[in-house]
Structures are given as structure tokens and as C-alpha cells.
Amino acid sequence: MTPEEVMAVFHTSHEEVPDYDVVPIQHTVHRRNLDDNQEIQFKAFDRDIKLYLTPTEGILASENTPVWTVSSNPNYPEGLKYDLIPNAMKNIGRTFHDMNNTASILMQLDANRRLHLNGIISSVNKVIRRLPQRILHDVLYSEKNLYKPHHTKNVTKNDDLAYTYHHVIYEIPKNRKKHYKEFKLSNPSKRINNTGHKHNVPDVIYPEILIIMDNSEYALVGKDIKHAIRYILSFWNGVDLRYRLLNNPKIRFNIAGIVIALDNNATSYMEKNRLESESLMVDVDKALREMADYIYRETRFPIGFYDIAITMTQLDICNMVDDYCDDSTLGYAYVSGACNRQDDKKTSEMAGIVEDNGGFSGIIPAAHEIGHLIGARHDGNPTYATNCSEHDGYIMTSGLMLNENGFEWSNCTINAFYTFLSEDRAKCLYNEPVNGHSLPRILPGKLMSLDYQCKKVHGHEAKACNTDHTVCTRLDCLVPGSERACIAIAPAAEGSSCGKGVFCLNGKCVLEGSYMKSNDKKFWLRRFQPLFKLQKIVKPFVL
């Protein structure tokens, strides 16, 4: 593969490509209508994998979802030139879920009615990726018998299934960072007490999110627009999955639009706040404030077009403490910032910044920051969440605790959501998006091995210390030359293998096929109750 193709498939350089299999994929015969349920089967890493996929409920995105590129240009307002990409979402695919296998797949039919798959199978911690067109046409399928499997060891015969193209299967990387930060309100006493009338919360709310991919993140997906869109859909389908644990109200994300930065200065609030011109570290306090000011001034997006704006970056965001910038930060956002425009201060607090390494590591931080924006503070907050200990390690803890609760919401967070959502200031979240036919969803988890997750954080010589149930709450990496033998980074990605026939799900090592069979789990029976404002998230506590 060329360097660009490697980056598009693996989001890394040649030197750090993880172990992978190239395998033929079988799918249900006569099921080439993407409105139908789909059965997918393949064999990778000596394991038979079967998925029973259903179209994802809700509209995460549609063919009408707008996608822009943005580039720096002094001849345009704000020094930025936006270009709408015609038909950017056309034929991008449709999102599917297999809840039993915690799989999120973006499925696309090409002109030959052959399937392409991109997504995550969390139950086995694997990523599935389509191959570049050049590899398919010039290498694998340059001769006759195009759809016959070339590697028979990777085929399990099934006469009811037909073959599509070969795909790449590899494992998911982990996040090296540990903490989330909450951004303090400019005037908290005024904001907290002036909540206005209470409303009955609708059965479903629809946060509409403007996704801004900065140039550093764009580089991770090979600087290819289609690859970037597929990655964004997969990533935010994974975030959306965390909110599907909530049932009263249901929370269903919608991508209002996607902005892809073609150069560093296209997100000047990030670029101007690098510690040094060539540094990868960014003062996120300043960057978030400047982002909030910018989106207030930016009139090319009409008021009401989106409820929340999130910048995705590969840069190392940090918080200044005296003369030191603490780079443990994973994300930063305003508490209760959704829907919020402050005309008196000429700023908009519906903003957040999330760090991601291109391997879906930013999914939990993104879920956390959205939690702040729709009303939650950190668990253990002395004023707003005293009944929930920060040491319990739920999603809204201030640090990644690497335990089973890290995939769930605490009672304090649920109460905070309900309180915020019942107030006048949250009413923009009540609008149901009308975006046309929904697109396929993609889940993270089955895409990268434990070793590869370590490599993404600590370099190509790193590898996982353990492969048992402990990785579901704490993935330790062996890093040659480090002072400690094993360094904890985060929980293994959902779907990571934690033994033969078992995988990580919601912080637990569970049997394949067992997902969602226990409907009496506390997070499904819990109801939102009234009881809720701006925060940051940090990297994992090493216990």
C-alpha cells in the first residue's frame, strides 16, 4: 500500500501498522437492499465471526447532511473559505447495529451491487475496513473469478451466503490520556439560578451536532474526504451508543453538519493556542473560549442550525497550571452549554473539544463532553453531585478510572440531564431533525487488537501486558525502556477480546452473543429524575 492508503485504512504510518488479516466476506444472498436486515460472516485471526445486522434506529446522518471543507483565506469572512461538497453523503452507506455483538457497521453498495463494510465489532475488539480501490482492482481482483476467496483458510463454507470483496480486519488502539476537564462558567451563579420555566421532557430528545474535524485529525484518515466522512460516522455512532443506555427520555444524536479543515489555520482557535509554533500541545482553555467566540460570530451557519459544536483533534490538548501545561486532558466543554448563545458577551457556549488518535479512542471522552453540554457535572462535585463518588468511575467521573462503571451513567448524571432538559434553555434539543433517509452506523471495538491499542499510544514496540478479563477495565501496556514494566492507558475498546469466546462490553468480560440479554440492568430500569453545568475530562488514574 502507498503511505496514503495505509493512513486511510489503519490511521497510522507503515511502521506502526498492527497485525491484520485480509479476508473474504460472506453476506446474505438476495439481501442487497440496505433497508433489510443483513447477515455477515467471515473468519479472521482463526475465529469465525457472524453478525446479524439491523438498520440503526434514528437518523444519525442522511444523504442530505451537509459536508463542507474549510480553508484559510483572507478574502473571506473570518479569514475562512467554506466550500459545500456536492453529494458528499450520497452512497456513503447505511449504519447497522448487531446489539448481541456490540457491532456498529457502515455498509455501502457499489455500482456492481457489491458490499463494502467499515466499522467496529466490539465483542471481538476488531475493526473491519474496506480496502482501497487500487488494491481491490489491481492486486486482489485483477484476474477472473473475482469473488472467489483467495485464502481458503479464512473461509467457512455456507451455501446460503454470497461473497463480496475482501476486507481488512485488525484490532483497536487505546487512549494514553487520563482526565476530563470541565470548563468553568463565566457567571455560574447567574446561570444556575436563572433556569426559567420547567417543562415535561419529551420522550426523545435530539441533540443536533456540528462536527468540526481539524487538519491534524484529517491527516489521520489520509486526507481523503470519503474516508473522513466514514470515520466520523463510525465514531459518532459509537458515541450515540453510550446514550442509548438512557431510556427516559431517549437521546438520539443527529449530525447537523460536518466541517473538514484543509489546513491548520482553518481552525485558528486551535492553531493560535499551540504552546510553540511546531508543538503538538494546545492550551485548551484558550482554544475553547476562542472557539465559543468564533461560532457566535460565524453567521454562515444560521442560528438554530445546530445545538452543539464539537472539534475533533489529534493535537495534545492541555491545561495551563502556572507555567506548566497539564497534558492529561482528554476533552473540554461548557456545562449546560447546549443551545446557549450569549448576546451580551458575544459568545456561544455550545462548544467542546475532544482529542482522538484516529483509532476511535475519543469516543468515551466525546460522550463525556456531550454530557457536560447537556447539564452534567463531574461525579463527586461538592455542590451538584455529592451523592455520587468520583471513585465509582462512571462516564462523568473527572478521570478515566479503568473499571466496569466507565461505560455507564451515574444517578447524579441522570438527574442532571433531566433537570437541564426540563428547562427553557434546553428547548432547542426538542426538535426532531428531518434529514431524509438515515445512513448506516459504525461501532468502534472490533477494529484493533490489544497490542495495536498499545502501539497507538506508546509506539510500535509497545504491546499489551495482559489478555484476560482485566483488560476490560484496565489495559496495561509493556513499553520498552519505560521505568514501569506495565503502564495503564484506558479500558480496552469495547469488543476487545478478553479470552477465548469472550469479549469486553461495558467494562465486563462477557460471552459472545450475550449483549442486551439482561434487560433488568440498572441503566435500563433507571428513570431520569429531576435534580443540574461546564467541565473537563482527564486521563486514567493509575491505581
Most confident of 33-47, 85-99, 456-470, 485-499: 456-470
- Spatial distance between the Cα atoms of 464 and 23, rounded to a whole number of angstroms: 24
Q: Are 290 and 284 in contact (CB under 8 A)?
A: no
Strand ranges (E), 56-144 = 67-72, 80-84, 94-98, 103-109, 115-121, 126-130
Q: pLDDT value at position 188?
A: 33
Torsion of CA 154, 160, 163, 164, to 10 degrees: -120
> Is 20 a residue whose pLDDT tops 80?
yes
Q: Tell me if residue 368 falls in helix, strand or coil.
A: helix
Q: Are 122 and 101 in contact (CB under 8 A)?
A: yes
| 369 assigned to active site | yes
Catalytic option among 369, 390, 404, 512: 369
The pLDDT of 432-454, averaged and rounded, is 66
- Spatial distance between the Cα atoms of 306 and 295, rounded to a whole number of angstroms: 11
Q: What are phi and psi of 47, to 5 degrees?
A: -130, 130
Q: Tell me if residue 119 falls in helix, strand or coil.
A: strand
Q: Are 107 and 442 in contact (CB under 8 A)?
A: no
CB atoms within 10 A of CB 523: 15
> Is 430 a residue whose pLDDT tops 80?
yes
pLDDT tens track for 312-330: 999 999 998 888 998 888 9
Q: pLDDT value at position 161?
A: 77
Q: pLDDT value at position 197?
A: 58
Strand ranges (E), 427-468 = 463-464
Which domains, from first to last, does the chain contain? 3-59+91-171 (no CATH), 200-434 (3.40.390.10), 448-542 (3.40.1620.60)
CB atoms within 10 A of CB 515: 21
Among the ranges given (168-177, 221-230, 380-389), the one the predictor scored with the smallest mean pLDDT: 168-177
Average pLDDT, rounded, for the chain = 80
- Spatial distance between the Cα atoms of 424 and 430, rounded to a whole number of angstroms: 11
- Spatial distance between the Cα atoms of 8 and 221, rounded to a whole number of angstroms: 5
Burial of residue 213 (CB within 10 Å: 0-12, 13-18, 19+) is: buried
The residue among 178 and 165 whose pLDDT is bigger is: 165
% of residues, the chain, pLDDT over 70: 79
In a 13 Å sphere around the CA of 164, the CA atoms on its Cβ side amount to: 27
> Is 519 a residue whose pLDDT tops 60?
no
pLDDT tens track for 466-516: 999 899 888 899 988 887 788 888 888 878 888 876 677 777 776 554 443
- Spatial distance between the Cα atoms of 171 and 23, rounded to a whole number of angstroms: 14
3-state class percentages of the chain: helix first, strand second, coil last, to nearest 5? 25, 30, 45
| 372 annotated ligand binder | yes
Among the ranges given (61-70, 169-178, 434-443, 488-497), the one the predictor scored with the smallest mean pLDDT: 434-443
- Residue 35's pLDDT band (cuts 50, 70, 90): low
**Shortest CA distance to 94 belongs to which of 254, 234, 242?**
234
| 27 annotated ligand binder | no
Q: pLDDT value at position 525?
A: 27
The model's pTM is: 0.72
- Residue 534's pLDDT band (cuts 50, 70, 90): very low
| 30 annotated ligand binder | no
